[in-house]
Amino acid sequence: MCVTCGCSEGATATISGALDDTSARGEDLHARAHALGLAHDHAPRVREVADDGSKTPRTITLERAILAKNDALAERNRAWFAARRILALNLVSSPGSGKTTLLERTVAELGGEMPFYVIEGDQATANDARRIRAAGAAAIQVNTGTGCHLEADMIARVLAQLDPVEGSVVIIENVGNLVCPALFDLGERCKIAILSVTEGADKPEKYPHMFAAANLMLLNKTDLLPYVDFDVESCRRAAERSHPGIRTIPLSARTGQAMDRWYAWLRSEREG
């Protein structure tokens, strides 16, 4: 799937439906992507056979070509969103930061004000999509198998099934990983990095590319600050060194503390 990061060769993504957990037929989504004018990839994955005729596959470097193709598909996704006045956001973080809990609360508390559609990315299970549906939003699960990130082509195929209405908010919860999702544009308005106070204040320094790619950092689980050794200001400064101008909102998705600031940001971006 990704020669840039060492994802297993032959990794495939499985898409589960918005209303149930039955797997969508790939050819059906392909046809629907054509009908809606969504970007998608026709090209097969590339393998090279050894010169000695042994038929043993070997890795070849395709990083530039893969990223260029992904970026082109992402621009088509972005144009598709813009034409429908859809705010598309890409949530990125390490596993366990609280992305799904944040989305559950956001959908439950703001769903009556703005329509939400959620794309859930995980290597396995449909657990998160079920949680989001229970909170009140349409959600589709993408299981990447051994892949460690979502790609623009996957998003286009999901949108063909999700079919978000004009003026809605599409939130993509990427696979938990602070490395590869930074490289892959999905066509979103912006990336939002979620960091929990249980992870360490130096994460923006350890993973600078992710925080450089994000416009907003949500510092989650602040209700645990009395019990962990975490310097909020140090973390904020580290993020700003990676991306001068990045905004930081400390909050707690579990207790609701400062969630109003996140909601205000969402409203502003949707209106903008």
pLDDT for res 50: 35
d(Cα 71, Cα 25) in Å, to the nearest integer?
25
Buried b (16+ CB within 10 A) or exposed e, 9-48: eeeebebbbbeeeeebeeeebbebbeeeebbbbeeeeeee
pLDDT for res 14: 77
pLDDT for res 114: 97
pLDDT for res 1: 44
Tokens linked to 152: 């623009």
pLDDT for res 34: 58
Tokens 């994000």 locate to 214
pLDDT for res 66: 77
pLDDT for res 2: 54
Contact 230, 255 (CB under 8 A): no
- As a dihedral over the C-alpha atoms of residue 22, residue 82, residue 132, residue 93, rounded to 10 degrees, the angle is 110
pLDDT for res 224: 98
Domain formed by 14-271, architecture? 3-Layer(aba) Sandwich (3.40)
pLDDT for res 59: 47
Q: How far is CA 9 from CA 13, 53, 62, 141, 166, in A?
A: 12, 20, 13, 21, 37
Tokens 């099934």 locate to 161
d(Cα 61, Cα 4) in Å, to the nearest integer?
8
Does this model's pTM top 0.85? My answer is no
d(Cα 35, Cα 154) in Å, to the nearest integer?
16
- As a dihedral over the C-alpha atoms of residue 139, residue 25, residue 156, residue 164, rounded to 10 degrees, the angle is -40
pLDDT for res 246: 98
Per-residue pLDDT of the chain (272 residues; tens, 9 = 90+): 455 555 655 566 778 765 444 444 555 655 666 566 665 554 433 333 334 444 555 444 555 677 899 999 999 999 999 999 999 999 999 999 999 999 999 999 999 999 999 999 999 999 999 999 999 999 999 999 999 999 999 999 999 999 999 999 999 999 999 999 999 999 999 999 999 999 999 999 999 999 999 999 999 999 999 999 999 999 999 999 999 999 999 999 999 999 999 999 999 999 98
pLDDT for res 60: 44
The predicted-structure confidence for 155-176, as pLDDT tens digits, reads as follows 999 999 999 999 999 999 999 9
